[in-house]
Structure 1
Amino acid sequence: METLLAPFAYAFFIKGLGVATLAGGLCGLLGVYITLRGMSYIGHGLSHAIFGGFAASSIISINYYLGAGVWGLASALAINKVTRSRRIGADAAIGVITTSSFALGVALLSHYGSRGPSFDAALFGSIIGVSAEDVLALAGITTFAVAVIFLNYRALLFATFDPEVADVSGVRVARTDALLMLVLSLAILATLTVIGVTLVAATLVIPAVVARMLTNRFSRMLWLSTVIGAGCGFVGMNLSYHLDVPSGTMIVLTGAVVFTAVLSLTGGRRLARTARSDNRTDPTPVVAPT
């Protein structure tokens, strides 16, 4: 027991644990919308795009939340605009825009060096790099995200399940999508220090997929995914300290264990149902509240 409680004597661990738990819950909440839209890859793409802003901010010595946030939002809006034009698919737009941004970030850091958080910490996460500023930023972004979802619940729901009908029914789908991309960009940015660029996509997808295997109801899926994400963040951060493994790695591995356990308990049919929901041909679709 003393071994398990030992890390709680360190202030940096307590901050990291709080950020990891909050980050896991936030990613789990937003991941539901991303997964049901069949855009699971966008979390991976946006995290790579934000890395370009992280590198540029580090070089010109401005607050990396500001620089990377603007960069990530611009990338998200660009992806959204290109996708809505229907000239190329969402996966192609994400691939071109975000990988180019990531390559630019690597080139900038390789040439000029980093003056902010270390390269490895940005890629894989680190509890040592968590500051009081990170805690406040994540708390503010989480509050903002919850407020956005609460105030735009029906618009987001409608745009997620049937965007074409929503558009002709008076829902401003473009505005709703842009708002969701804004919240997603801020969430990825706030979790960068703990989870890392390369692994944040998994924290968006895994809790939502597990929740989808457990329920057909949309509202229940939202809170289940949030709880699963927060739990994976809490457990993963503790394991990270004891095993001396990057925090993002252990958070994702914890989620993978939960996914495997739920899959073994529910059977492959539930996983197939989850996959079909991306194509809107699922015979047991998610039931939205009326």
Structure 2
Amino acid sequence: MEWLFAPFGVSFVERALWGGLLVSGICALAGTWVVLRGMAFLGDAMSHGMLPGVALASLLGGNLFAGALASAVAMAFGVTALSRSRRLTDDTAIGLLFVGMLALGVIIVSRSESFAVDLTAFLFGDVLAVRPRDLVLLAAALGVAAVIALLGHRAFLALAFDPRKAATLGLRPRLAHGMLLALLTLAITASFHVVGTLLVFGLLIAPPAAAVLWARSVPLVMAGAALAGAASTVIGLLLSWHLRTAAGATIAVTAVALFFLSAAAARLRDRWAPATARPVRGLIEPEHAS
């Protein structure tokens, strides 16, 4: 069993493990709503739309986290503002901002002498370079994310299944949508500089998508997503250690592979199990949204 435990006896791999576990928890809280509301494109756009702020902060010698946060907030406000137009669909607004922010980021990064290195670090991060202070930041972000998810749970639930009912119940859908964007922004900005946008987006989408095929309530989806993300981290780090592959990319691939395994198992269940044993349409039971 030395092959299983030996890698985690190395200090930087152990820190990478804790970093991945914390990111998995944050992404489970935010990613569940991203999957339930069909906001995957927004998550992808926001994760890559941080490039201008990160690039500018790097070029000026500033704080990368502050730059990422500024870009993510700008993306969130831009999407909210453009989505209010009746002539533009949400996808159009998100796509415009996605392309514009990404292109602007590439232009800024191209002014740097280390263009390729900077862009690679942005996309893939370096989970094996996680420092103790990064773990403190991720732990704090997980705590804040948990508070936002708890306070906004009822409004998020109504917004995900029936926005008109959310307004009828006085849950202020626009405020709830803003809180949800804040949760997504927090998850992405707190995690990207440690693990890169590829791993953030992978853990934001794949584990909740795998869990939603089995769970019958939102808390169970979050719990399942956290477990799937944790499993992806452990398995990915082990594969990376023994196969000598890039750790962040290996974790992301593992998360996607676990989703396909979950989808295949769910298909077999739907073929053989009684209809009453299945989550309705692969999502949450309607009565849980009331």
TM bin (shorter chain):
0.7 to 0.9
Match of 1:46 in 2: 46
Residue 277 of structure 2: aligned partner: none
Counterpart residue type for residue 83 of structure 2: T
Asked if 1:156 is matched to 2:142, the reply is no
SS in structure 1 at match of 2:50: helix
Matching residue of 1:274? none
TM-score normalised per structure 1: 0.87
In the other structure, the counterpart of 2:284 is: 286
Q: Which amino acid aligns with 1:227?
A: L
> Cα–Cα, structure 1 residues 39 and 65, in superposed 2: closer, same or farther, change >3 Å?
same
Distance in 2 of aligned mates of 1:204 and 1:284: 18
For the residue of structure 2 that corresponds to 1:171, the secondary structure is coil
Matched with 2:65 is 65
Q: Residues 285, 47 of structure 1: CA spacing in aligned structure 2 closer, same or farther, 3 A cutoff?
A: closer
Q: TM-score, normalised by structure 2?
A: 0.87
Residue 244 of structure 2 aligns with an amino acid whose one-letter code is D
User: Using the alignment, how far apart are the partners of 2:289 and 2:169 within structure 1?
Assistant: 18
Partner of 1:176: 176
Counterpart Cα distance in 2 of 1:72 and 1:208: 22
Show CA shifts across 1:16-38 (max 9, x none).
Answer: 11111111222122111011111
Report the 3-state secondary structure (helix = DSSP H, G, I; strand = E; otherwise coil) of the residue aligned with 2:225.
Answer: helix
Q: Deviations over 1:3-61 (max 9, x none)?
A: 43333333222111111111122212211101111111111111111122111111122
- Give the deviation of 1:112 after TM superposition: 2.4
Residue number in structure 2 paired with 1:219? 219
The whole-number CA distance in structure 2 between the counterparts of 1:113 and 1:91 is 35
Question: For each residue in 1:121-166, what CA deviation from the matched residue of structure 2 results, as whole angstroms up to 9, or x when unmatched?
Answer: 2211222432223211111111100011112211121122112221
**Between Structure 1 and Structure 2, how many residues are aligned?**
279
Percent identity reads: 31
- Which blocks of at least 5 consecutive residues in structure 1 are unaligned? 271-281
Determine whether 1:25 maps to 2:25. yes
Q: Is residue 219–residue 289 contact of structure 1 (8 Å, CA) maintained in 2?
A: no
Partner of 1:234: 234
Unaligned runs of 5+ in 2: 271-279
Amino acid at match of 1:217: S
Tell me the secondary structure at the aligned position of residue 214 of structure 1: coil
**What residue identity is the alignment partner of 2:43?**
G
- Match of residue 187 from structure 1: 187
Which amino acid is the alignment partner of residue 130 of structure 1? Answer: V
Question: 1:240, CA displacement in angstroms?
Answer: 2.3
* Alignment CA distance shift 1:219-1:186 (3 Å): closer
Say whether the 8 Å CA contact 2:109–2:118 is kept in structure 1.
no
Q: Which residue of 2 aligns with 1:91?
A: 91
Match of 1:10 in 2: 10
Runs of 4+ in structure 1 over 4 Å off: 282-285
Residue aligned with 1:181, SS: helix
Of structures 1 and 2, the one with the larger relative CO (CA 8 A, separation 6+) is: 1
Partner of 2:275: none
Could you tell me whether the CA contact under 8 Å between 2:199 and 2:252 is conserved in 1?
A: yes
After superposition, the Cα gap between the structure-2 partners of 1:235 and 1:194, relative to the gap in structure 1 and judged at 3 Å, is farther
Any conservation in 1 of the 2:237–2:251 contact (CA below 8 Å)?
yes
